[in-house]
Every structure is written in structure tokens, then in C-alpha cells.
Structure 1
Amino acid sequence: MAKIGKAAAAQHEEAPGFEGHYGEAGGYTIGFESYSEDQDPAPLFKGLPNDRCQCPHWGVVLKGRLIYRYGDGSQDVIEAGEAYYAPPDHTPVFTAGTEVVEFSPSADLATTMQVVMENLEAMGTSM
């Protein structure tokens, strides 16, 4: 059995208003993410199909609120203490003070993150 803790996670990313710690287990990336500012990263998904994240995610909101907006116009609002599944074709919105633990298929996440990183670079921002 593999286990990953936030403090021992292999990868650490920071950007204004965001901190993430990531590790991999069984083909999934496990992310511990914290948001100190409201975040609507929808522009970062430009270039993916429908300009939305195509990677599914499973997770738990530990603190705060996470909103997933879907291509069909629907949305899910996930509050602290709730678990979720976000299917492909979504964009997230995080409120300040939100903390999540999220599980994503590593291959799908890598494809998405390549586009996200290219968009960050084009905006003159990096993680």
C-alpha cells in the first residue's frame, strides 16, 4: 500500500494565492491544495477541448468552498466536509481559505497540466 502525506509529498508548487503538494500512487496523483485567495483558473484551460479541464477528479473539501462548473451549464458547490467527483469538461472556482485533497488519474492530469503551464507562461506567470 502506498501512502502520501502533505509534508512528504514529492512535488511542491506555489503561485499567488495557491500552494499545492503532490505525490503519485497507483497511477493517481494525490494533491493537497490550499487557496489563500479567491481563484477562478478558467483561462488556464484555454486550448483543451471546450476550453475546460478534461481530467476527472475525486476529492474532499477540508475547508472552504469549491465550485465545479460544467460544459452543460450545471455546477456543483462542494462545502467543507463534503466529498466529490468532478467528471471531465469542467472548470473549478475556489474561495479564499479553501483546502482540498484531490485524486486525479496521473496521465490525464499531465495532459491538462501541460496546457495549463503553457498558458501560465504565455501570461508571464509561473508556478
Structure 2
Amino acid sequence: MTAATRNDVPVALEGNGVELRLMPIGGGMSVGYISLPRGTDMGPALKGLPDDACQCPHWGYLLKGRIRMSTAAGEEEYEAGQAYYWGPGHVPVALEDSEFVEFSPSEEFQQVIEHVVAQLG
């Protein structure tokens, strides 16, 4: 078994108030602790991926804030206190300063992170 608090997990991506801490936890899954300041639109960083959207599924819990998720099916809003599943093909926008913890397939999420890092250059 593997367990980790936020501070145990290394930073995989940061800048402009965005922080992603990511660590494999077993079973091919990783835990991510994510902070997005209000107004963060991940759309530009996801350009070039299929459908210009994150193709990695995520299961998580929104600790703080509000997120709008755009998908091919439309938009949905999530707020603090909600658990969620975001399937492939989503683009998040932080409507408020937001913090969430999520679980994602390690390999798929790493591909998305590498793309985002390359986009942010």
C-alpha cells in the first residue's frame, strides 16, 4: 500500500499560480493534488491533443472552489464538496480559486502533462 499527503507528493508542474503535484500510488494509478487560480483556462495548454482536450480520465474530489468543465457534450460546473469523474475529452476552467485531489491512470496522465509542459515552453 502507498499513502501520501499533499506535501509528500512532488511538484510535476507549476507556474502562474497553477500547481500539480503527482505521484504513482500503485495499480497503474497516480494521485494528483491540483491548485488552479480563478480564471485559469487549460484550453490553450491542451491545444494539439485529440479534440484539443485532455484525454485522460480522472476521478476526484473538489476541496475548494468551482470548476467549469467543457466537453463535446456541453459544459458542466463542479463545486467544492463534490466528487467527480471527468472522462476523456474535457477542458477545465477555474471559475474560482480551486483545489482538488484526483486519481488518474499514470501513463495517460503523464502524456498529458508532457504535452502541457511543451505548450507552456
TM > 0.5 between the two? Answer: yes
Name the residue aligned to 2:55: 54
- Tell me the percent identity: 38
Structure 1 unaligned regions, length at least 5: 122-127
1:75 offset after TM fit, Å?
Answer: 1.9
1:48-96 CA-partner distances (Å, limit 9, x unpaired):
1111110011110011111211023x12211110000000011011133
Decide whether the 8 Å contact of 2:38 with 2:95 is kept in 1: yes
- Count of residues in Structure 1 that have an aligned counterpart in Structure 2: 120
Name the residue aligned to 2:71: 70
- RMSD across aligned C-alpha pairs, in angstroms? 1.4
Structure 2 unaligned regions, length at least 5: none
Q: Look up the equivalent residue of 1:83 and give its one-letter code.
A: A
Name the residue aligned to 2:99: 99
Q: Look up the equivalent residue of 1:94 and give its one-letter code.
A: A
Name the residue aligned to 2:13: 13
Name the residue aligned to 2:44: 43
Q: Look up the equivalent residue of 1:4 and give its one-letter code.
A: A
Name the residue aligned to 1:86: 86
